[in-house]
Amino acid sequence: MTSGMTQATPSRTAEIEAGQVLHAPTTAEQRTARIMGAWFLGTILFSVPAFWFYDPLLNHAGYVLGGGHDTRVGVGAVLEILLAISGIATAVVIFPIARRVNESVALGYVACRTVESILILIGVLSLLSVVALRQDLSTAGVQGPAQLPLVDVARSLLAVHDQTALLGPQFCAGLGNGILLGYLMWRSRLLPRPMVMVGLIGGPLAVLAGVGVVVGAWDISDGLPVALTAPEALWELSLSVWLLTKGFRPSPVLTGRPAK
């Protein structure tokens, strides 16, 4: 399962769990843990403020006809671009270690995070398109009834953003961070299993919340889907804090000396 298990000879005092020798993380592996934690923290820090910056535009199709807060919306777009980069980075940085557990699942995690980031960027593009329409309209000096079709166009672009938020951070985060990453962390023992269990439970619940929105059972902002998504959010926050402060735990997939 791992080349690290052949690089050190287990001693009688080595910690044994389920018949596997647990190896302490090397300096490089602990550095990987903290880099991953920093990227995960970045996904939280970049995502939450973005919606505040977007507030003048979100759910306001008339923005395309108004004076506009283009700089504010632009800052939100930059934050979401950084969010997309952070999302891919969380999967790429852990891949060399995660592949020792299960290469197919590790690749699936990278793919899932990549799809999520692409959807986020599509949402950013839709909002920036509304801003561009507003600027073009202002420059052209279009007045009167000729402006009205642009409101429908803006409403369509805002709807695209809403759906990318559902398909990306809702579905892909639940599947990727909750189920796939949770499985990799559970099998590897790199993180405390009670904390990982929150992700393994929260991932399917987040996907269920998204399915409910798609089939019309509830709105994404209703109390039930928010509650269903809360364990996934808690898992991602606790994951980032643990990795930044403590790093990896001894694991059979690491390459250091056997843990005493």
Asked if residues 204 and 4 have their Cβ atoms less than 8 Å apart, the reply is no
Task: Please indicate, yes or no, if residue 117 is contained in any of the structural domains.
Answer: yes
Cα distance between residue 64 and residue 245, in whole Å = 45
Question: HSE-up of 225 (CA within 13 Å, CB side)?
Answer: 20
Task: Please indicate, yes or no, if residue 65 is contained in any of the structural domains.
Answer: yes
pLDDT at 205 over 50: yes
Q: Which one-letter DSSP state was computed for residue 20?
A: E
Task: Please indicate, yes or no, if residue 82 is contained in any of the structural domains.
Answer: yes
Mean pLDDT throughout 178-197?
A: 96
Q: Which residues pair with 16 in a beta bridge?
A: 21
Task: Please indicate, yes or no, if residue 132 is contained in any of the structural domains.
Answer: yes
Residue 136 lies in domain: 25-245
Task: Please indicate, yes or no, if residue 63 is contained in any of the structural domains.
Answer: yes
Task: Please indicate, yes or no, if residue 256 is contained in any of the structural domains.
Answer: no
Number of domains observed in the structure of the chain: 1
Cα distance between residue 181 and residue 232, in whole Å = 12
pLDDT band at 9 (very low <50, low <70, confident <90, very high): very low
Burial tier of 14 (Cβ tally within 10 Å: 0-12, 13-18, 19+): middle
Task: Please indicate, yes or no, if residue 3 is contained in any of the structural domains.
Answer: no
pLDDT, position 220: 81
The predicted-structure confidence for 60-105, as pLDDT tens digits, reads as follows 777 877 767 889 999 999 999 999 999 999 999 999 999 999 999 9
Question: Which whole-number Å values give the CA distances from 22 to 53, 251, 252, in the listed order?
Answer: 46, 4, 5
**Which tokens sit at 41?**
């923290």
The predicted-structure confidence for 12-57, as pLDDT tens digits, reads as follows 334 445 567 889 999 999 999 999 999 999 999 999 899 899 988 8
Cα distance between residue 64 and residue 147, in whole Å = 9
pTM as predicted: 0.86
Task: Please indicate, yes or no, if residue 13 is contained in any of the structural domains.
Answer: no
